[in-house]
Structure 1
Amino acid sequence: MRAEPGRTILLTGLPSAGKTTVASAAATLLAAAGTRVEVLDGDVVRHEFWPELGLSPADRELNLARIGTLATLLARNGVVVLVAAIGPFTRARAALRDQHTGEGIDFSEVYVATPLRTCRERDVKGLYARQACGEISGLTGVDAVYEPPLAPDLSIDTSDEPVDVSANRLARFILESSATPGEGTIR
């Protein structure tokens, strides 16, 4: 017996925008509502499954494509997959959408549109400080390209609202856009 298809939601944005934080908080809400859910963090997946990939444009695209393959496997088995990955290139994000569409799996793009200044202030992993000191280069949105989505399915600016509000908006978006009888609700 095949499970009802899940779906994939890509949260894209600059480093320290809040992608993983919002995805994890939304996953908790979704699970409490009875949804099978998994968070795939781009950095964690890269480290655990293919640490040979660097941060070149080609490796970034390959990382997102491989995460997309994992997401489709989970989604076609009834899991809502929240992919928290920078995904800096429009072309790679479009390929991810096409991959899901080709499999008959719903796909949504969520732009975590937190401004660069806020991301620099947070600097969760110390990347902005390391880039400013010349220790690293190729930091997305600073000295490497980030192509913001032109028409995301949802946009969240974590500098304007607390994590719980952003997570609630994301969870509601997911449940309302895939509402099927018997699915849980966020209260």
Structure 2
Amino acid sequence: MKKGFTIWLTGYSGSGKTTISEQLYQSLTAREIRCEKLDGDIIRQHLSKGLSFSREDRCENILRIGFIAEMLSRHGVGVIVSAISPYREARNTVRNKIANFIEVHVSCPIEECARRDVKGLYQRAMSGEITNFTGISDPYEAPLDAEITCDTARESIDESTDKILRALCRMGII
């Protein structure tokens, strides 16, 4: 059986997590590596419906995603998680439960994320219409020891994806 793993992409809304995860998924499946994507927005619509954006509920959401990722990776599946995951403590709790956990900080200045925002969420958050918005009215605790950092203000999606793939090869994950 192949070794499972979890790639956990964390960063601000609009930083490029979902786009990178899509391309990473395509690259891994092209190599015939079994993998699944767990996107924070989609998980919130289904598994975590009803949770608020309070610190407690955000942490609960991350723990739920982590539970699924751990189960899948334990059974030899590569898991790609793209979720803001704003709190270091919740990410570290998940990290400690999953073998072959690779944290990817998708770094991008909040101004650039707001510029990219097609849904208008940042504007609504800055006007006070949306509360508890990560980076505006709620904190984002950047990783202190991420295995990989992708600077999407300076790197293309291709460059970020290639960086992750090269690191996975170096680590013996793929």
Scaled by the length of structure 2, what TM-score is found? 0.95
Q: Which residue, out of 77, 88, 112, partners 1:118? A: 112
Residue aligned with 2:142, SS: coil
Report Cα offsets for 1:62-84 as digits up to 9, x if no partner: 00000001101110111111110
Give, in whole Å, the separation in 2 of the partners of 1:98 and 1:125.
34
Is 1:159 the equivalent of 2:157? no
Runs of 4+ in 1 over 3 A off after TM superposition: none
Task: Output aligned runs, 1:2-21, within 5 Å.
Answer: 3-21=1-19
* Aligned equivalent of 2:24, options 23, 26, 29: 26
- Alignment: residue pair count: 174
- State yes or no: 1:82 paired with 2:76: no
What are the equivalent positions in structure 2 for 1:35-184 lying under 5 Å apart? Answer: 35-100=33-98, 105-179=99-173
State percent identity of aligned pairs.
Answer: 40
RMSD over aligned Cα, in angstroms? 1.3
Given that 2:10 and 2:106 are in contact with CA atoms closer than 8 Å, whether structure 1 keeps it comes out as yes
Per-residue CA deviation, residues 158-183 of structure 1 (Å, 9 max, x unaligned), is 1101111111211222233134xxx5
Quick check: 119-128 or 140-149, which moved more?
119-128
Q: SS where residue 99 of structure 1 aligns?
A: coil
Q: Which amino acid aligns with 2:116?
A: R
Indicate how the Cα distance of structure 1 residues 65 and 36 shifts in structure 2: closer, same or farther if over 3 A, else same. Answer: same
Distance 1:54 1:7, change over 3 A: same
Secondary structure at the counterpart of residue 68 of structure 1: helix
CA distance in 2, matches of 1:178, 1:39: 21
Distance 1:151 1:47 in 2: 30
Please state whether the residue corresponding to 2:155 is helix, strand or coil.
Answer: coil
- Answer yes or no: is the 8 Å Cα contact 2:134–2:140 preserved in 1: yes
Displacement after TM superposition at 1:33 (Å):
1.3
**Equivalent residue of 1:60, what SS?**
helix
Query: Equivalents in 2 of 1:92, 1:60: separation in Å?
Result: 9
Deviation at 1:9, TM superposition (A): 1.2
Unaligned residue ranges in structure 2 (runs of 5+): none
